[in-house]
Structure 1
């Protein structure tokens, strides 16, 4: 393994050695990712402050957007400092969460109309004002931002099939939270089970877990598809501008 380059400080501090950053700064990518972080965080914040669809935080879409916002914030900081990219084990999971959020809404919930307990209220009677804005941010803007970052700002061929079980840990944890929360709440509590297929009162634990397992298999297949696309797509990261090393340029020679 090649040791990181170092920079000698002139004068009395010449003995000090400072490590160079892992790579060139990417202020342009940092700006884009900061903007995407703001968009991902805006949906949950607006939903919570307007209170138009309580209890909001138990919805998978909202929690997924919170995780995406955190990942974008971390990635933006690394891009600004010239640090290494996020681990594919982490970013692949974020990508899968965003894909599930967008596809489930646009291919399933929109076509079947949803229900007050199945998703944030987005029916025709509430498709105005803040509800439209929140729905657009949560279900469309965030998934598209994650996909664009993956395809345009991330090097290809980093995702692995072996990462998929780790990516599925977030949906599995969510399932556990929903079931425990539902067991603790009294029958008839609002959004006791936020999605119809997880309604233990209607299907029992065996039925709810069977449907959750079927969705888990679909998520795993989607993760495999994303991994395959990652290995086939071209590398376009060189098309975008990069900053230079703030401590010493890559071609800098030794101190004379």
Structure 2
């Protein structure tokens, strides 16, 4: 039986263009698919998330304690993942796994929903601690609770292909928020937030599981973004079309 990985003698010594193309792996001649606009947009997400965190730190008396808040953790994760996605889009490398990028959507929208539904409350450290109203805090809240979540939503809906999430994400994504909820119940002093009531915890737990399910459901039915087709066949050896 012939070895499909070896090149035949006639192909190996061919000097015409067709023979040369046959001896060249398809991966070596495939054009790099770069997306500079997507890279620029994701850099803006990184800038918005980091700016919101820095402004929040400037507006509080204990900046280090903000690292225990879910809002800050989610926005820092969004900044890192968006920067990595921007680099890959700019260089044409494979995108970050949807299992990672998709988790940002429910992670960012959970504190945003709590902030707008319960603006006067401090729901067990999922949002920023209460502070004296001011311009710095107002800008920080807008960046952390509005700009970054909506930008992550737009990136997912407009710049990524649909049906990339797997059913296993439905239990993987809520794992950390549920663990965070359990830690705030067991060790409320560690986050600097008041101890949650049983009613609050019972309300948040289903929401932590519902947001990933909603995200996965939308991903299964949303249309694919309009992408330009490559006019060069990736496997053919004929001249360029």
Question: Is the TM value for this pair above 0.5?
Answer: yes
Counterpart pick for 1:51 among 60, 67, 72: 60
TM (normalized to structure 2)? Answer: 0.73
Q: Is the 8 A contact 2:161 2:224 kept in 1?
A: yes
Q: 1:20 to 1:105 in 2, by over 3 A?
A: farther
Query: Which residue pairs with 2:207 in the alignment?
Result: 218
| Residue 151, structure 1, aligned to residue 157, structure 2 | yes
Decide whether the 8 Å contact of 1:121 with 1:131 is kept in 2: no
Structure 1 runs of 4+ off > 6 angstroms?
15-18
TM-score (norm 1): 0.69
User: Aligned residue pairs: how many?
Assistant: 213
Higher Cα Rg, which structure: 2
| Equivalent position to 1:102, from 95, 112, 126 | 112
Q: Is the 8 A contact 1:155 1:237 kept in 2?
A: no
Task: Note the alpha carbon deviations across 1:100-158, whole angstroms, 9 max, x for none.
Answer: 12222122x22xx12598643567xx332211011111111111011100110011111
What's the offset of the Cα at 1:160?
2.9
* CA shift for structure 1 position 161: 3.0
2:95 corresponds in structure 1 to 85
Output one character per residue of 1:169-225: Cα deviation in whole Å (capped at 9) or x when no partner: 221342355456546x6xxxxx63x2552xxxxx5xxx4xx7535422222112111
Change (3 A) 1:213 1:162: farther
What residue in structure 2 maps to residue 36 of structure 1?
A: 45
1:182-197 alignment runs, 5 A limit: 182=188, 192=192, 194=193, 196-197=195-196
State how far apart, in whole Å, the 2-side matches of 1:132 and 1:21 are. Answer: 48
CA gap of 1:195–1:43, structure 2 versus 1, over 3 A, is farther
Counterpart CA distance in 2 for 1:172 and 1:86 is 24
Which secondary structure state, in structure 1, belongs to the residue aligned with residue 168 of structure 2?
A: helix
Q: Larger RCO: Structure 1 or Structure 2 (Cα < 8 Å, ≥ 6 residues apart)?
A: 1
Distance 2:187 2:78 in 1: 23
Question: Structure 2 regions of 5+ residues with no counterpart?
Answer: 6-22
Instruction: Give the 3-state SS of the residue equivalent to 2:142 in structure 1.
Output: helix
